[in-house]
Amino acid sequence: MSSDPGLPHYSVAELNQAIGSLLERGFAPRFLLEATVSRPQLKKGHLWLTLVDGQASIQAVVWASQLSRLNHQPLEGDGVLVVGKLNFWSARASLCVQVLDMRPSLSTVLLRFEQVRQQLEPEGLLDPARNRPLPPMPRAIALLTSVPSSALADMLRTAAERWPSTRIHVVPIPVQGAVEEQIRQRLAEVLAVASALGLEAIVLARGSGSREDLAVFDSEALARDLAACPLPVITGLGHEDDLTIADLVADYRAATPTGAMVALLPDRLSLIQDLSHQRTRLRQLVHHRLQQERLRLEGERQRLVQLHPNQLLEHWRQQLRQRHELLQALSPQRLLQRGFALVRRPDGRLLRSVQQVRAGDRLQLELADGRIDAVAEGSGPG
């Protein structure tokens, strides 16, 4: 074969080096790759896996030095979002994705959420009827969250504004990555001293983040720990639209970390206003009752006055005077004083008709000031 001076000439090593240089100059030093994990396996501390998308595949590796810092340890078939860079070994012209960070894809997170939900639901652990009432005015609570964080600052500020008398024991927990066992350990430690601290509720909170960042709270083991917790559990995880298995198991699910404190702690300003209204109402009721008692006592006093012996005597005297006047008004003597006369027979019987008298009968005429003896000369109709 004759040499063509217009074609570049390489050895194998030079060709591979040229390819490597081209990749370094023409490809981004870091990139995001969405894929599905296939055949993950550990070799000498390094995690080797194949990343596929249904149409193509590429080898990937997580070096041992990076593996312990990963937020997510992938399983076969997991959808993942990889932060990586290209590794090209010129000696073998081998291309591989070096994984710098990895997190589950949203579809994987939701799939695991549904799998755990279907496992716990038949056991009744997600039944809302299990939910216990929250303490009305808790004296002490445990707050499990990331420290420091803006979510913690917001919760502490809200607690100080609403009900500063509640003692808040802040328990730092990791909230990013494969930290399930650490969260469970801290929860167990809190429960071990709950009685000594006088705890009345536990708040599990995490600030804003993607749904993938909340995947640790979909853990079956953590859900069982929360369900067995002897104290009411309030969750405030992520945003209002985020729902985790821990939310379903908790006694109360708040939309946000701050919402958890609002739900758990009473509002002192609102209570002060309510107490003021109740005090005003109580004063009105006491005033009304006193008025009623005054009227009742005044009525009793009037009744006692009327039942006094002197008052009774005067009343009886009045009645006697009225009856005496009535008798006087009805007395025949009153008629006689007006010019009338009573006609009697000698035996004292009153005459009521002229037919009772004959000529020659002796009669007695009774007037107001005396009596007249008379003889009837005759009688007839008037």
Architecture of domain 110-266: 3-Layer(aba) Sandwich (3.40)
Q: What is the pLDDT along the chain (382 residues), one digit of tens a residue?
A: 555 667 888 888 888 888 888 887 878 888 999 888 999 999 989 999 999 987 898 999 999 988 888 877 788 888 888 899 998 888 888 899 999 988 888 888 888 899 999 999 999 999 999 999 999 999 999 999 999 999 999 999 999 999 999 999 999 999 877 789 999 999 999 999 999 999 999 999 998 778 888 889 999 999 999 999 999 999 999 888 889 999 999 999 999 999 999 999 999 988 889 889 999 999 999 999 999 999 999 888 888 877 778 877 888 888 888 888 787 777 777 767 777 778 888 887 887 777 777 887 788 877 778 888 888 777 767 5
Q: Which residue spans within the chain are E strands per DSSP?
A: 31-43, 46-52, 57-62, 79-89, 94-104, 140-145, 167-172, 201-206, 233-237, 252-254, 342-344, 362-367, 370-375
Bridge-based pairing of strands 342-344 and 252-254 is: unpaired
Q: Which of 66, 33, 29 shows the shortest CA–CA distance to 52?
A: 33
Instruction: Tell me the three-class secondary structure of 289-358, residue by residue.
Output: HHHHHHHHHHHHHHHHHHCCHHHHHHHHHHHHHHHHHHHHHHCHHHHHHCCCCEEECCCCCECCCHHHCC
The span from the CA of 234 to the CA of 257, in Å, is 9
The span from the CA of 114 to the CA of 248, in Å, is 12
Alpha-carbon Rg for the chain in angstroms:
55
The CATH topology of domain 12-104 is OB fold (Dihydrolipoamide Acetyltransferase, E2P) (2.40.50)
Q: Which two tokens stand for residue 169?
A: 């024991």
Break the chain into its structural domains and give their ranges.
12-104, 110-266, 270-315, 332-375
Q: Which of 155, 170, 169 shows the shortest CA–CA distance to 264?
A: 155
Q: Which residue spans within 244-302 are E strands per DSSP?
A: 252-254
Q: Which two tokens stand for residue 226?
A: 């929360």
Q: How far is CA 10 from the centre of its chain?
A: 77
The span from the CA of 156 to the CA of 147, in Å, is 12
DSSP-derived letter for residue 176 is S
The span from the CA of 261 to the CA of 263, in Å, is 5
